[in-house]
Amino acid sequence: MWMRDDLERILFHETTILARLDELAEQITRDHLGKDLSVVVILHGGMVLMADLLRRVHMPLLIETLTASSYHGGTASKGVVDLREEGLPDVRGRHVLILDDILDTGLTLATVKKQLIESGGAEGVRTCVLLRKKKERPVRVGADYVGFEIGDEFVVGYGLDFAGRYRNLPFIGVLKEDVIRGELAEKGVE
């Protein structure tokens, strides 16, 4: 298990994550029943959450995706969100639930939410993240549905990557420092 060996510790096992998703899905279903719901999934990080969470939401909905990130290969936000307007899904008049893996600086969610309201014409926008880092944020953005709160550390697994890898780990954990340092040095990333 080379990927498991790269981890310093596991934060959330698969069974813990899935049990929490049962609760979140029930809440989301209750809050949106009878509404025209479009779920907008932020790729790539949100894709594992999307598959497991939405199969637990028992109501009709549309699934849209968009690609956005404020990370560019390292372990810290670069403070700039890559998001192209022509990639925005058509959510005019619909209730939107944005799904992302993690709320870190909050820039990604704030940017996507603003675009979906101002350019996309969404009727209402709520947000859902599996993880929220406990920290001071440069922008005032919260999440309406949060799986777990974690400390301000870099995590991987369950959709979250480091240099594109570890997304397919079924649990969430913290990488060993030397694995991060080795990879960054090899890529020449600061």
- Return the number of the residue (35 or 126) whose C-beta is nearest ligand XMP: 126
Dihedral of CA atoms 25, 27, 33, 37 in degrees, nearest 10, equals -60
Q: Is 161 in the site for ligand XMP (CB under 6 A)?
A: yes
Helix, strand or coil, per DSSP, at residue 23 = helix
Report 4-43 residues binding ligand XMP (CB under 6 A): 42
Binder of ligand XMP out of 40, 48, 61, 102 (CB under 6 A): 102
Q: Which of residues 118-157 bind ligand XMP (CB under 6 A)?
A: 154-156
Q: Extract long-range pairs of 64-68: CB within 8 Å, 24+ residues apart.
A: 64/38, 64/39, 64/40, 64/89, 64/91, 65/40, 65/41, 65/89, 66/40, 66/41, 66/42, 66/112, 67/42, 67/43, 68/42, 68/43, 68/108, 68/111, 68/112
Among residue numbers 60 through 99, which ones bind ligand XMP (CB under 6 A)? 69-71, 77
Among 106, 120, 147, 173, interactor with ligand XMP by CB under 6 A: 106
Active site residue 100: no
- Compare residues 89 and 106 and give the one whose CB is closer to ligand XMP: 106
Catalytic choice (22, 104, 152, 178): 104
Of the chain, the end-to-end C-alpha distance in Å amounts to: 28
Binding flag, residue 171, ligand XMP (CB under 6 A): no
Binder among 105, 125, 172, 173 for ligand XMP (CB under 6 A): 105
DSSP labels for 154-167?
-EEBTTB-BTTBST
Q: Which CB atom, from 26 or from 153, has the smaller least distance to ligand XMP? A: 153
Which residues in this chain contact ligand XMP in the complex, by CB under 6 A?
Answer: 42, 45, 69-71, 77, 100-108, 154-156, 160-162
